[in-house]
Protein backbone atom coordinates (compact mmCIF):
# COMPACT_ATOMS: atom_id res chain seq x y z
CA UNK A 1 0.00 0.00 0.00
CA UNK A 2 2.79 2.44 0.90
CA UNK A 3 5.99 2.31 -1.14
CA UNK A 4 8.11 4.48 1.17
CA UNK A 5 8.89 4.99 4.85
CA UNK A 6 8.74 8.76 4.77
CA UNK A 7 6.91 10.84 7.35
CA UNK A 8 4.84 13.96 6.74
CA UNK A 9 4.51 17.05 8.90
CA UNK A 10 2.34 20.04 8.05
CA UNK A 11 2.99 23.32 9.85
CA UNK A 12 0.35 25.99 10.33
CA UNK A 13 1.55 29.56 9.73
CA UNK A 14 -0.25 32.23 11.78
CA UNK A 15 -0.31 31.54 15.50
CA UNK A 16 1.85 28.41 15.29
CA UNK A 17 5.03 29.45 13.53
CA UNK A 18 4.34 33.20 13.13
CA UNK A 19 3.62 35.59 16.00
CA UNK A 20 0.41 36.84 14.38
CA UNK A 21 -0.94 38.62 17.45
CA UNK A 22 1.98 41.04 17.60
CA UNK A 23 1.65 41.80 13.90
CA UNK A 24 -2.09 42.45 14.20
CA UNK A 25 -1.55 44.55 17.32
CA UNK A 26 1.01 46.75 15.52
CA UNK A 27 -1.30 47.12 12.54
CA UNK A 28 -4.26 48.20 14.64
CA UNK A 29 -2.13 50.67 16.60
CA UNK A 30 -1.07 52.36 13.37
CA UNK A 31 -4.73 52.93 12.57
CA UNK A 32 -5.46 54.22 16.08
CA UNK A 33 -7.34 51.07 17.05
CA UNK A 34 -6.87 48.68 19.93
CA UNK A 35 -7.01 44.90 19.64
CA UNK A 36 -6.87 44.38 23.41
CA UNK A 37 -4.50 42.14 25.33
CA UNK A 38 -3.41 38.73 24.05
CA UNK A 39 -5.35 36.75 26.66
CA UNK A 40 -8.60 38.47 25.68
CA UNK A 41 -7.74 38.05 22.00
CA UNK A 42 -7.45 34.28 22.44
CA UNK A 43 -10.90 34.05 24.04
CA UNK A 44 -12.87 35.72 21.25
CA UNK A 45 -14.79 33.98 18.52
CA UNK A 46 -12.82 34.15 15.28
CA UNK A 47 -14.65 37.02 13.59
CA UNK A 48 -14.30 39.25 16.65
CA UNK A 49 -10.56 38.67 17.05
CA UNK A 50 -9.94 41.43 14.53
CA UNK A 51 -12.55 43.84 15.87
CA UNK A 52 -11.56 43.88 19.53
CA UNK A 53 -13.51 43.02 22.65
CA UNK A 54 -16.53 44.79 24.14
CA UNK A 55 -14.39 47.73 25.21
CA UNK A 56 -12.71 48.23 21.82
CA UNK A 57 -15.42 47.01 19.43
CA UNK A 58 -17.48 50.24 18.93
CA UNK A 59 -14.50 52.41 18.01
CA UNK A 60 -12.89 49.73 15.88
CA UNK A 61 -16.00 48.91 13.86
CA UNK A 62 -16.51 52.56 13.01
CA UNK A 63 -12.99 52.77 11.64
CA UNK A 64 -13.33 49.55 9.64
CA UNK A 65 -16.60 50.47 7.93
CA UNK A 66 -16.12 50.96 4.20
CA UNK A 67 -14.01 49.08 1.68
CA UNK A 68 -11.33 51.75 1.63
CA UNK A 69 -10.72 51.54 5.39
CA UNK A 70 -10.50 47.77 5.28
CA UNK A 71 -8.15 47.96 2.32
CA UNK A 72 -5.85 50.35 4.18
CA UNK A 73 -5.76 48.07 7.22
CA UNK A 74 -4.88 45.03 5.10
CA UNK A 75 -2.19 47.04 3.30
CA UNK A 76 -0.64 47.99 6.64
CA UNK A 77 -0.88 44.41 7.88
CA UNK A 78 0.89 43.27 4.73
CA UNK A 79 3.71 45.74 5.32
CA UNK A 80 4.05 44.69 8.96
CA UNK A 81 4.20 41.00 8.03
CA UNK A 82 6.75 41.53 5.29
CA UNK A 83 9.03 43.90 7.17
CA UNK A 84 8.59 43.32 10.91
CA UNK A 85 6.63 40.19 11.87
CA UNK A 86 8.57 37.50 13.69
CA UNK A 87 8.62 33.74 13.91
CA UNK A 88 8.23 32.41 17.44
CA UNK A 89 11.45 31.42 19.27
CA UNK A 90 13.03 28.12 18.10
CA UNK A 91 10.75 27.91 15.06
CA UNK A 92 13.51 28.81 12.62
CA UNK A 93 15.72 26.03 13.96
CA UNK A 94 12.80 23.58 13.95
CA UNK A 95 11.95 24.22 10.32
CA UNK A 96 15.58 24.06 9.25
CA UNK A 97 15.94 20.70 11.00
CA UNK A 98 12.80 19.36 9.32
CA UNK A 99 13.96 20.51 5.89
CA UNK A 100 17.35 18.87 6.42
CA UNK A 101 15.87 15.50 7.43
CA UNK A 102 15.95 13.30 4.30
CA UNK A 103 12.99 11.10 5.23
CA UNK A 104 10.55 13.86 6.18
CA UNK A 105 8.10 15.63 3.87
CA UNK A 106 7.45 19.09 5.31
CA UNK A 107 4.84 21.61 4.24
CA UNK A 108 3.37 24.91 5.37
CA UNK A 109 -0.30 25.89 5.15
CA UNK A 110 -1.81 29.32 5.71
CA UNK A 111 -5.02 31.29 5.62
CA UNK A 112 -3.12 34.55 5.90
CA UNK A 113 -5.27 37.56 4.92
CA UNK A 114 -2.58 39.95 3.72
CA UNK A 115 -2.20 41.08 0.11
CA UNK A 116 -0.59 38.35 -2.01
CA UNK A 117 -0.18 36.13 1.07
CA UNK A 118 2.23 33.70 -0.56
CA UNK A 119 4.66 36.50 -1.33
CA UNK A 120 4.09 38.02 2.10
CA UNK A 121 5.12 34.83 3.86
CA UNK A 122 8.04 34.27 1.52
CA UNK A 123 9.45 37.64 2.56
CA UNK A 124 8.76 37.02 6.26
CA UNK A 125 10.42 33.60 6.30
CA UNK A 126 13.32 34.81 4.13
CA UNK A 127 14.14 37.40 6.81
CA UNK A 128 14.53 34.45 9.19
CA UNK A 129 16.84 32.51 6.88
CA UNK A 130 14.21 30.13 5.50
CA UNK A 131 13.52 29.72 1.79
CA UNK A 132 9.96 28.44 1.44
CA UNK A 133 10.93 26.83 -1.87
CA UNK A 134 13.01 24.40 0.20
CA UNK A 135 9.76 23.01 1.65
CA UNK A 136 8.04 20.14 -0.13
CA UNK A 137 4.90 22.27 -0.44
CA UNK A 138 3.45 25.61 0.61
CA UNK A 139 -0.31 26.12 0.32
CA UNK A 140 -2.61 29.09 0.83
CA UNK A 141 -5.98 27.61 1.82
CA UNK A 142 -9.09 29.63 0.91
CA UNK A 143 -11.11 30.68 3.95
CA UNK A 144 -14.13 28.58 2.99
CA UNK A 145 -12.19 25.41 2.21
CA UNK A 146 -11.78 22.80 4.91
CA UNK A 147 -8.19 22.27 6.01
CA UNK A 148 -8.79 18.53 6.19
CA UNK A 149 -9.16 18.49 2.41
CA UNK A 150 -5.66 19.91 1.94
CA UNK A 151 -4.18 17.78 4.72
CA UNK A 152 -5.52 14.59 3.15
CA UNK A 153 -4.52 15.68 -0.35
CA UNK A 154 -0.93 16.28 0.78
CA UNK A 155 -0.75 12.92 2.51
CA UNK A 156 -2.14 11.11 -0.55
CA UNK A 157 0.07 13.08 -2.95
CA UNK A 158 3.20 11.78 -1.24
CA UNK A 159 1.64 8.37 -0.50
CA UNK A 160 2.41 8.54 3.19
CA UNK A 161 0.95 6.27 5.85
CA UNK A 162 -1.51 8.23 8.05
CA UNK A 163 0.25 6.72 11.09
CA UNK A 164 3.41 8.54 9.98
CA UNK A 165 1.67 11.88 9.36
CA UNK A 166 1.49 14.94 11.65
CA UNK A 167 0.10 18.46 11.74
CA UNK A 168 1.01 21.42 13.96
CA UNK A 169 -1.72 23.94 14.73
CA UNK A 170 -3.12 26.41 17.24
CA UNK A 171 -6.90 26.25 16.76
CA UNK A 172 -9.68 23.73 17.26
CA UNK A 173 -10.14 23.62 13.48
CA UNK A 174 -6.54 22.47 13.08
CA UNK A 175 -7.08 19.71 15.63
CA UNK A 176 -10.29 18.48 14.00
CA UNK A 177 -8.82 18.70 10.50
CA UNK A 178 -5.79 16.67 11.53
CA UNK A 179 -7.92 13.97 13.18
CA UNK A 180 -10.26 13.92 10.18
CA UNK A 181 -7.31 13.35 7.84
CA UNK A 182 -6.01 10.52 10.05
CA UNK A 183 -3.00 12.50 11.25
CA UNK A 184 -1.46 13.08 14.68
CA UNK A 185 -1.91 16.69 15.88
CA UNK A 186 0.77 18.68 17.69
CA UNK A 187 -1.21 21.55 19.21
CA UNK A 188 -0.03 24.84 20.74
CA UNK A 189 -1.71 27.22 23.16
CA UNK A 190 0.34 30.37 22.54
CA UNK A 191 -1.43 31.28 19.29
CA UNK A 192 -5.05 32.06 18.50
CA UNK A 193 -6.48 29.77 21.20
CA UNK A 194 -5.53 29.63 24.88
CA UNK A 195 -4.73 26.43 26.77
CA UNK A 196 -7.93 26.72 28.76
CA UNK A 197 -10.05 27.25 25.65
CA UNK A 198 -8.48 24.30 23.84
CA UNK A 199 -8.85 21.91 26.76
CA UNK A 200 -12.07 23.03 28.44
CA UNK A 201 -14.16 24.26 25.51
CA UNK A 202 -12.90 22.03 22.71
CA UNK A 203 -11.73 18.98 24.70
CA UNK A 204 -8.30 18.85 23.09
CA UNK A 205 -6.19 16.43 25.18
CA UNK A 206 -3.71 18.35 27.32
CA UNK A 207 -1.01 15.84 26.40
CA UNK A 208 -1.06 17.13 22.82
CA UNK A 209 -0.59 20.80 23.69
CA UNK A 210 2.64 22.79 23.86
CA UNK A 211 2.50 26.01 25.86
CA UNK A 212 5.56 27.53 24.18
CA UNK A 213 7.20 27.33 20.76
CA UNK A 214 10.33 25.89 22.38
CA UNK A 215 8.23 23.08 23.82
CA UNK A 216 6.63 22.48 20.42
CA UNK A 217 10.05 22.26 18.81
CA UNK A 218 11.22 19.73 21.38
CA UNK A 219 8.06 17.63 21.05
CA UNK A 220 8.22 17.53 17.25
CA UNK A 221 11.93 16.76 17.02
CA UNK A 222 11.68 14.10 19.71
CA UNK A 223 8.55 12.61 18.18
CA UNK A 224 10.19 12.38 14.76
CA UNK A 225 13.48 11.10 16.15
CA UNK A 226 15.52 14.08 14.99
CA UNK A 227 18.52 15.00 17.13
> Which residue ranges make up each domain of the chain?
7-19+86-223, 20-83
What pLDDT is stored for residue 120 in this prediction? 97
pLDDT of residue 135: 98
Residues of the chain falling short of pLDDT 50: 47-62, 65
| Exposed e or buried b per residue across 98-130, where buried means at least 16 C-beta atoms within 10 angstroms of its C-beta | beebeebbbbbbbbbbbeebeebbbbbbeeeeb
Q: What is the DSSP string of 145-197?
A: S-HHHHHHHHHHHTT--GGGEEEEESSHHHHHHHHHTT-EEEEESSSSS-HHI
Domain 7-19+86-223 CATH superfamily: HAD superfamily/HAD-like (3.40.50.1000)
In this predicted model, what pLDDT tens digit does every residue of 133-166 receive, in sequence order? Answer: 999 999 999 888 899 999 999 999 999 999 999 9
pLDDT of residue 2: 86
pLDDT for the residue 163: 96
Q: What is the pLDDT of residue 61?
A: 45
CA 192 remoteness from chain centre: 9
Q: Which pTM value belongs to this model?
A: 0.88
Measured from the Cβ of residue 222, the count of other Cβ atoms closer than 10 Å reads 10
- pLDDT, residue 211, reads 98
At residue 28, the pLDDT reads 84
Amino acid sequence: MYDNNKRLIILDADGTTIDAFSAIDKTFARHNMAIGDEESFQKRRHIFKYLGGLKDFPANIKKQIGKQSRKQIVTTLTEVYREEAQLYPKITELIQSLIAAPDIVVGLVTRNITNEPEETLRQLFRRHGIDLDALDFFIHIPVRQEKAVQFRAARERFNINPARSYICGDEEKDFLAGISAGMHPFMVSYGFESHKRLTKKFNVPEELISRTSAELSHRVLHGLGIN
